Amino acid sequence: MADERLNVNPTRMQLTRLKRRLATARRGHKLMKDKRDELMKNFLELAKENARLRSEVEEALAVVYKDFEKARAVMSSEVLEESLMYPKQGVKLSVSRRNIMSVNVPVFDFTAAAEERGNLLPYGFARTSGELDGAMAAVTAVFPDLLELAAREKETQLLAAELEKTRRRVNALEYVMIPRLENTIRYIQMKLDENERGSQTRLMKVKDMVLNDAHSYAERLREGEDVIGR
């Protein structure tokens, strides 16, 4: 693939144009490579952080589920559902964007809006068990981490996509575009040189012929005159 060349006419104008393109491609390649390296650095840290956060959240969630299971065990399912029917806390989520290496990633800001401070439980204590209170506390505690996880994970995904794109571009430039341009430039240069040599010899030949005509060397040679030594 790399020995291919572009399908262009071997002219001087093309040569200049291609040389300019090659310079641009080289510069672009260098920039892309820098971008890729920087992205990679960010990304690897982020991915590690993401993995850590995820295992944390998963553990916490397991506890939450267990707590709710317990609550469900000691009280009837209907009462439980009913108790949680109208949550007192609402979540206000606003999304802004942050730019990391030209990748827009969302930033989630949330404010837990409770109707009354200090009392986040949407039920009275009369018909519910203590287990439910514990479960509520657990789920409230895990919630900020859950949001953080969402933000990190999205960031990881977006950066991964960008990194993949950049990587492809770097490779395409390095292994396809630049070699192809170089080959084409070499080809045009050789073609032009060849043309030059061709016209040079043609000129010499023509000059010979013209001189021959002007001084009629051939006839004078035939007459025995020493045309060369003269």
Partner 1 sequence: MYKIGVVGDMDSITGFRAVGLSVFPCSKPEEAEKIVMKMAREEYAIIYIMESLAVQIPETIDKYSDVMLPAVIAIPDRNGSTGRGLDNVRKAVERAVGADILFGGDK
Query: Using CA atoms, how far apart are residues 30 and 33, in angstroms rounded to an integer?
Result: 5
Q: What are phi and psi of 112, to 5 degrees?
A: -80, 115
Choose among 96, 92, 95, 94: nearest CA to 111.
Answer: 92
Q: Out of 7, 9, 94, 102, name the contact with partner 1 by CB under 8 A.
A: 94
Rule CB under 8 A: is residue 129 a binding residue for partner 1?
Answer: no
Q: Out of 15, 64, 178, 185, name the contact with partner 1 by CB under 8 A.
A: 64
Contact 75, 129 (CB under 8 A): yes
Q: Out of 25, 136, 173, 181, name the contact with partner 1 by CB under 8 A.
A: 136
Q: Out of 84, 100, 101, 172, name the contact with partner 1 by CB under 8 A.
A: 84
Q: Out of 8, 22, 100, 160, name the contact with partner 1 by CB under 8 A.
A: 160
Rule CB under 8 A: is residue 140 a binding residue for partner 1?
Answer: yes
Neighbours of 222 (CB within 10 A): 9
Contact 146, 57 (CB under 8 A): yes
Neighbours of 122 (CB within 10 A): 15
Give all strands (DSSP E) within the chain, no chain letters: 89-100, 103-114
Rule CB under 8 A: is residue 76 a binding residue for partner 1?
Answer: no
Q: Which residues bind partner 1 (CB under 8 A)?
A: 40, 43-44, 47-48, 50-51, 54-55, 57-58, 61-62, 64-65, 68-69, 72, 80-81, 84, 87-95, 97, 104-106, 108, 112-113, 122, 135-136, 139-140, 143, 146-147, 149-151, 153-154, 156-161, 163-164, 167
